[in-house]
Amino acid sequence: MNLLITKTLLSIEAELEKEKKETKQSSVSTQLSNRASYANFNVDIAGPASLLSNLVFWGFKDNITIEEHAVRPWVTLNTSQLINYPYVEVEFNSPELSFKRSFEPRINRYMSGCADMLYEKSSFIIGKHRINPTTSKFIFPTSLLQKYIEVYKTRMFSEITQDQRLELSVILDQFCKDMVDININNNVAENRQVTFNIGKNLYKRSKKISNQKDDKEPIVIYNEVFLPRLISSFRYFTGMQEYTLEGKRIVSTKNNGSNMMMNFKPIISYKCTYCKIGFVGPSGMVKMQDHLEKNHQREQPLLCLLCKKSFELTQLSEQRWKCVCQK
C-alpha cells in the first residue's frame, strides 16, 4: 500500500489529470473501472461486516496503518429502517401472495489523490429477469395489488398482535412502494425479479490517508461509493383473480376481494445476506436486530453526492434512501 501511495497512485492521478485537460472533460468518473487500465495490481480488503465499513487509515512513521473505528452505540431500528438496511432480506409467503426483497448495496472502493466528490449518475433499473423461466408471468394493474393489500391488512389485524400488525403493515407497504416505483404503464408482473436503485442516488465515504513523512506530500483518499441497490422478487399473486374455461387467469372485478380472500397468517422470515444467516418465525425481526447489533455494529455516515450533506444510515433507510435534497 505504501508503494501504491508513494509511487504508483501519484502517476495514475497525473495521467488522469492530463487526459482531463486534453479531452476538456468537466469531471472525472469515480468508478473503479476507469482506473483499472492504469494500475498493475489491486488491493483487496476483506473481513467481517462490522470491520469492512468502519475502516480507519492513518500514518505511523513510514507505514500506513489500517484500523477499525471505535464502536458507536447501536440504535435500535424500526421496521422501515430494518428492511431497508444493508444486507437485510425479508421474505413474505402466503397461499395468495409471495415476494422477497433484499437490500444489497454495491460498494465501489478505490484510492485517489484528491477529494473526488463529483456527482455521478446511476441507472434506476439495474437488471430484471423472469424468476422461473418455464412459467409465464401474469401482468395486472398496480392498483389491484394495492387494493388487495389494504383489504388483507384489515382482515388480518384482528388475528395478530399489535407488534405483528406494525411489522406486517410496514413490509406490505414497502413492497407496494417498490411495485409503484418499478411499474410499467401502471402495471406490475409476478414471476419477475427487478434490481433497482431504490433512492435514485449515490452516496459516498471518503477517508484521508497520509504517511506523515512530510506535510507537503499529497494526501491520498480512500473512497467508498455506495449504491443503494434493492432486489425485489415478486413470485406470485393469486388474490382477487379468477380462471377462465381455457385456464387463463383474469382480474376479478365482481367485488373488492374481501369475499374471495383466504383467512391465513403469512410466514415472514429474515436473512442477513452478508453472513448467510436466516431467522424465521414470530421472533425473526428481533433476532435480525440482535444479529446486526452484535455482528455488523453501527456504520459510519454517508455523504450525499448531490447536496454534500452527511446522513446516518438509519435516516437514509427510513426514507427509502432518498435524500432530503431530492424533490
Residue 34 clears pLDDT 60, i.e. is over it = no
Task: Please give the pLDDT value at position 263.
Answer: 55
Instruction: Kindly state the DSSP code that residue 291 receives in the 8-state scheme.
Output: H
Q: How many CB atoms lie within 10 A of CB 103?
A: 21
Confidence at 258, pLDDT banded by 50, 70, 90: very low
Contact between 33 and 225 (Cβ < 8 Å): no
| Least trusted range by pLDDT, from 96-110, 237-251, 306-320 | 237-251
Supply angle C-alpha 51, 54, 56, rounded to 5.
110
Contacts of 39 (CB under 8 A, 6+ apart): 8, 12
Task: Please give the pLDDT value at position 39.
Answer: 47
Residue 327 clears pLDDT 60, i.e. is over it = yes
Task: Please give the pLDDT value at position 90.
Answer: 98
Q: How many CB atoms lie within 10 A of CB 67?
A: 11
Domain boundaries, the chain: 2-318
Q: Identity (one letter) of the amino acid at 232? A: S
| Least trusted range by pLDDT, from 61-75, 79-93, 169-183 | 61-75
Contact between 142 and 183 (Cβ < 8 Å): yes
Confidence at 86, pLDDT banded by 50, 70, 90: very high
Contacts of 2 (CB under 8 A, 6+ apart): 62, 63, 64, 211
Continuous segment of H or E residues that includes residue 173: helix 162-181
Between 121 and 23, the more confident residue is: 121
Supply angle C-alpha 259, 265, 270, rounded to 5.
135
The average pLDDT across 157-163 equals 86
Confidence at 239, pLDDT banded by 50, 70, 90: confident
Task: Give Cα separations from 140 to 193, 208, 237, 244 (angstroms).
Answer: 16, 51, 10, 16
Supply angle C-alpha 81, 228, 174, rounded to 5.
45
Residue 312 clears pLDDT 80, i.e. is over it = yes
Nearest to 255 by CA among 138, 118, 151: 151
